[in-house]
């Protein structure tokens, strides 16, 4: 993993709510959360399923927009930006790691890792070099040409982590990254994530229902029924 001297991104959620409307019925997922995530911090967000912790992560990563409240990257309000600007921000500042890996089907490992750089307009040679380095750094250097269907869960998650790091983001968001893995691959993926965070000093938000996992974080917040507990 190459060192990135770009400082991590600080994120602030200012009394955000998220209410989903499903067939005319309002389902509040987040009922009002204010949270500051410092740069370079490794924050664990824990809570049972349905507590709203994943929604919190998606709001932080601009995949979703809050119903009310605001999201700040540093001092810049970002939640109200148009879809296209949010896409550019996601591309440059945020890396996502999902529970179910979300690799693109029928696409090789290296193509997946190259993809964020593609949307950034990086030249193909540079893309290939960077993707190769990243795959090597997550221990997947020998499986560049494998399709996602030919990889185990742990391997897929390593590729997904390499992809999340491709654009050298300031913020790495991991949503139950070990949730679909057996305990051995889970701990190695977790170690990988934490070692990357430690070295690159990027901000890491780790959503998990597993309090064991949360122990590795520098700080832990607990979400329950769409609210932060004890804060």
Q: How near is the Cβ of 124 to other proteins at its closest, in Å? A: 8
Window 115-134: residues binding other proteins (CB under 8 A):
115-116, 118-121, 124
> What is the contact mask toward other proteins in residues 88 to 107, using x (rule: CB under 8 A)?
x-xxx---x-x---xxxxxx
Q: Specify the stretch interacting with other proteins by CB under 8 A; choose among 3-11, 22-30, 114-122, 135-143.
A: 114-122
Query: If binding is defined by CB under 8 A, does position 83 make contact with other proteins?
Result: yes
Asked if residues 42 and 216 have their Cβ atoms less than 8 Å apart, the reply is yes
Task: Return d(Cα 100, Cα 147) in angstroms, integer.
Answer: 16
216 binds other proteins (CB under 8 A): no
9-48 footprint of other proteins as x/- string (CB under 8 A): ----------------------------------------
Cβ–Cβ < 8 Å for 46, 223: yes
* Cβ at position 187, least distance to other proteins in Å: 26
What's the rounded Cα separation, in Å, for the pair 133 and 128? 9
64 lies in the binding site for other proteins (CB under 8 A): yes
DSSP secondary structure of 49-99: TTSSHHHHHHHHTTSS--SEEEEEETTEE-TTS-HHHHHHHHHHHEEEE-T
In this chain, which of 167, 181, 186, 189 binds other proteins, going by CB under 8 A? 167
In this structure, what DSSP letter does residue 43 have? Answer: E
> Looking at 33-41, 73-81, 160-168, 180-188, which segment touches other proteins (CB under 8 A)?
160-168
For residues 171 and 214, which CB has a smaller minimum distance to other proteins in the complex? 171
Smallest distance, other proteins to C-beta of residue 218, A: 25
Query: What is the rounded CA–CA span in Å between residue 212 and residue 134?
Result: 27
Smallest CA-to-CA distance from 40 within 205, 207, 228 is with 205
- Is 176 one of the binding residues for other proteins (CB under 8 A)? no
Contacts of 23 (CB under 8 A, 6+ apart): none
**Which CB atom, from 162 or from 214, has the smaller least distance to other proteins?**
162
Which tokens is 53 given?
């912790």
Please list, in sequence order, all residues whose beta carbon lies within 8 angstroms of the beta carbon of residue 28, skipping any fewer than 6 positions away.
Answer: 17, 18, 19, 20, 226
Using CB under 8 A as the binding rule, whether residue 184 contacts other proteins is answered as no
For other proteins, the binding residues (CB under 8 A) are 58, 61, 63-64, 83-84, 87-88, 90-92, 96, 98, 102-107, 115-116, 118-121, 124, 163-164, 167
């Amino acid at each position: 993993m190459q060192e990135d001297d770009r400082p991590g991104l600080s994120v602030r959620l200012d009394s955000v709510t998220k209410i989903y409307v499903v067939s005319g019925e309002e389902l509040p997922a987040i009922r009002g959360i204010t949270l500051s995530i410092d740069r370079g911090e490794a924050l664990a967000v824990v809570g049972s399923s349905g507590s709203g912790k994943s929604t919190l992560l998606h709001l932080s990563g601009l995949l979703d927009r809050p119903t009310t409240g605001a999201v700040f990257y540093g001092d810049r309000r970002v939640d109200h930006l148009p879809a296209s600007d949010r896409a550019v921000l996601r591309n440059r500042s945020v890396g996502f790691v999902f529970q179910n890996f979300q690799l693109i089907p029928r696409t090789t490992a290296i193509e997946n890792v190259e993809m964020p750089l593609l949307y950034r307009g990086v030249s193909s040679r540079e893309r290939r070099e960077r993707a190769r380095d990243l795959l090597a750094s997550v221990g997947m250097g020998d499986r560049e040409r494998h399709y996602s269907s030919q990889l185990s869960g742990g391997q897929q998650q390593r590729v997904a982590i390499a992809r999340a790091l491709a654009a050298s983001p300031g913020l790495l968001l991991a949503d139950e990254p070990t949730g679909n893995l057996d305990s051995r691959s889970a701990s190695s993926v977790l170690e990988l994530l934490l070692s990357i965070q430690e070295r690159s000093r990027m901000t890491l938000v780790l959503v998990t229902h597993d309090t064991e996992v949360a122990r590795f974080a520098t700080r832990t917040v607990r979400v329950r029924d769409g609210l932060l507990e004890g804060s």
